[in-house]
Amino acid sequence: MSEPHGPLRSYGRLKSRPIKPRQAALMDTLLPQIRAPAEPFDPRALEPDAAEVWIEIGFGGGEHMAAQAARRPDVLVIGAEPFLNGVASAVRHLDEQGLSNVRIHDGDARALLERLPEGSVDRVFILFPDPWPKARHHKRRLIQPDAIEALARVLKPGGRLRFASDWADYVDWTLERFLASPHFAWPAERPDDWRRAPADHVTTRYEEKRLGDCAPVFLDFVRR
């Protein structure tokens, strides 16, 4: 991610349907208050008393992000999502639950990672990202060597990263690339370690749709 790249782009539509009036109002009022800074920043400056800093990349409708933030009010959660409908849904969840420990980057996650200091993040979630199943589209997948390098840069030693997918090929793709990285370890010891949802996982409506070709797989990596 530190290497030069073309204009930041999230493939697909940035808006798929009209945003509901209440959500649109929150986009104008709440979002500017909780938007992550547009310049390089230290997350600890946003919440000096936060016990940890977590990031969710591609938070979809924000259900998981909001639930984790509600469970751990002592943690600062930063979510990245380029799709406006997802951001609109997320700000509604945050408003309804009165959550103040969340910041949102409404754009490409690469730009967010580039603005964070080295070793400033304790945990990362990448849950059910777009699998781009056609071989000619694999280059659009989020999990690429440069993304893994960027994630390794911002994660603290011992920091954790959870990847989940219900597409078998994307699971294999991800595992192969993380195992090839010198920065991450995969401490799984038995099939249940990846076949069963972790105790702290929050199931979302998207996950329940089972749109993939396999049961959900959870890969928890540790920053060396």
pLDDT of residue 6: 44
Report yes or no: 3 and 147 within 8 Å, Cβ to Cβ: no
Report yes or no: 128 and 93 within 8 Å, Cβ to Cβ: no
What single-letter DSSP state applies at residue 117?
A: P
Taken in order of first residue, the domains within the chain and their CATH numbers are 21-223 (3.40.50.150)
pLDDT of residue 182: 98
Structure tokens at 165: 């997918």
Q: Where are the beta strands (DSSP E) in the chain?
A: 52-57, 75-80, 102-105, 121-127, 155-165, 184-185, 217-223
Q: Could you say which residues of the chain have pLDDT below 70?
A: 1-16
| Beta bridge mates, 164 | 127, 218
Please indicate whether residue 95 is annotated as part of the active site: no
Among 130, 169, 193, 220, the one annotated catalytic? 130
Structure tokens at 47: 């919440």
Structure tokens at 9: 């782009």
pLDDT of residue 147: 97
pLDDT of residue 14: 58
C-alpha–C-alpha distance, residues 77 and 69, integer Å:
6
pLDDT of residue 93: 98
pLDDT of residue 16: 62
